[in-house]
Amino acid sequence: MSRLNVLMLNRGFSLTGGVPRVLLTYARNCDKNRVRLHMASFKKFAAPMAEAMKQTGAEIYEIGDSGYLHPALALRRILRKQQIDVVVATSLKAYLVAKLAAPAKCRVVYWIHAIALVTESRFKSAIYRRAARRDTLIYISEFVKNAHSYPGHLGRSEVALNGVEDFLATSPLYDRTRRASLGIPEDALVVGYTAAFIAWKEHRTLLTAFARLANDHPEMHLALIGKGELLEATQEQARSIPGGERIHFLGLRPDARELLGIMDIYVQPSNGEGISIAIIEAMLSRRPIVVSDAGALPDMIDNEDTGLMCRVLDADDLAEKIDRLARDPELRYRLGERARQVALDRFGAQAFAERITAILEGERR
């Protein structure tokens, strides 16, 4: 059987974005004897991501981000020249552009990573449901499938959990000596969170919880990695709460994974996730984890086995779970070790790549 010629289309390929990293993981781990891979972006590739993609053997293309028609025309030229069999789109705009561009013999698959991006408005929902009626839809979790499934869809529906490479051998975690360069005492107990500063990531709830722990845990520091529209508001909140001087805003970091090494506890209090690459990386790094019981997070962390779960939007419950871990190093160790074992089994890169390839091979005409 000949190799399947696949093009994956994403909005952009930054070094730190979750979807680009998932696509890179697939490119590194897919069977090159079965798939010839191409990656296309509306926006310019970040230089390190472009280089990483090229090292996998994938061809890369930039088609521009001006509306729908111009990118569709650029994409159509690529699809015809490269004789692409399947286009995999990872956002609603990418999906619609692919539908406009694809020749009759080219299949279009929508790989849905968003929690409910296409169902947040009636207009988007109507377009999505009409366009996707006969196409294959890949969901990154059962939660995302439930959010996007609809009566009348006649195509295939598949769930494929995102995979993460076991990076510890090639990208060792920082040790505690790196803390000094970040303004964090080496002997501190560090709680960390990597997320964009947007409303549903719930930094506000985390800071409220931290303020309630500040007096009982003067050794506790909070490290926040990321950027976003609510960064300044969150910094203002930090200046107004007890212990705010122990909250560190580290910005958008290409070494976010390595920085897991300076953290004693990892938290994810967000109000819903489709699936979280940051949590999987924390699991692989043996961090004890606290997550909210929202979205797909309960499907990722087994309460009391691979982490602790708190009620979403409940700062008191989040503070109680962090306090419990802060006072019990043996519990932190046990949860961290178990988290790594489960992450390797549940979110392994090879199994993930095989699952995606098998789904795409089902698109052969």
Can you give the residue ranges of every domain in the chain?
4-163+348-361, 176-346
pLDDT digits (tens, 9 = 90+) for 308-345: 999 999 999 999 999 999 999 999 999 999 999 999 99
| Tally of CB atoms within 10 A around 151 | 5
CATH number of this structure's domain 176-346, picked from the four choices 3.30.1950.10, 3.40.5.50, 3.40.50.2000, 1.25.40.10 = 3.40.50.2000
C-alpha–C-alpha distance, residues 61 and 98, integer Å: 14
* Confidence band of 123 (pLDDT split at 50, 70, 90): confident
Q: For residues 129-138, b (16+ Cβ closer than 10 Å) or e, as one string?
A: bebbeebbbb
149 CB burial (10 A radius; 0-12, 13-18, 19+): exposed
The answer to whether the 4-163+348-361 and 176-346 domains have the same CATH topology is yes
pLDDT digits (tens, 9 = 90+) for 43-76: 999 999 999 999 999 999 999 999 999 999 999 9
> What is residue 96's three-state secondary structure?
helix
Task: Write the CA distances from 341 to 65, 129, 304, 353, integer angstroms.
Answer: 41, 39, 15, 19
**What CA dihedral angle connects 248, 251, 255 and 256, to 10 degrees?**
70
* Confidence band of 115 (pLDDT split at 50, 70, 90): confident
Pair 154, 337: CB distance under 8 Å: no
* Packing angle of the helix pair 231-239, 203-213 (nearest 10 deg): 20
pTM exceeds 0.85 for this model: yes
pLDDT digits (tens, 9 = 90+) for 263-306: 999 999 999 899 999 999 999 999 999 999 999 999 999 999 99
Which pair of structure tokens corresponds to residue 25?
């993981």
* Confidence band of 237 (pLDDT split at 50, 70, 90): very high
CATH homologous superfamily for 4-163+348-361? Answer: Glycogen Phosphorylase B; (3.40.50.2000)
**Rounded to the nearest 5°, which phi and psi values hold at 109?**
-120, 135
What is the sign of the dihedral through the CA atoms of 149, 155, 159 and 163? Answer: negative
CB proximity list for 291: less than 8 A, separation 6 or greater: 267, 268, 269, 279, 297, 298, 300, 301, 307, 308, 309, 310
| Tally of CB atoms within 10 A around 54 | 14
CB proximity list for 312: less than 8 A, separation 6 or greater: 202, 269, 271, 272, 292, 293, 294
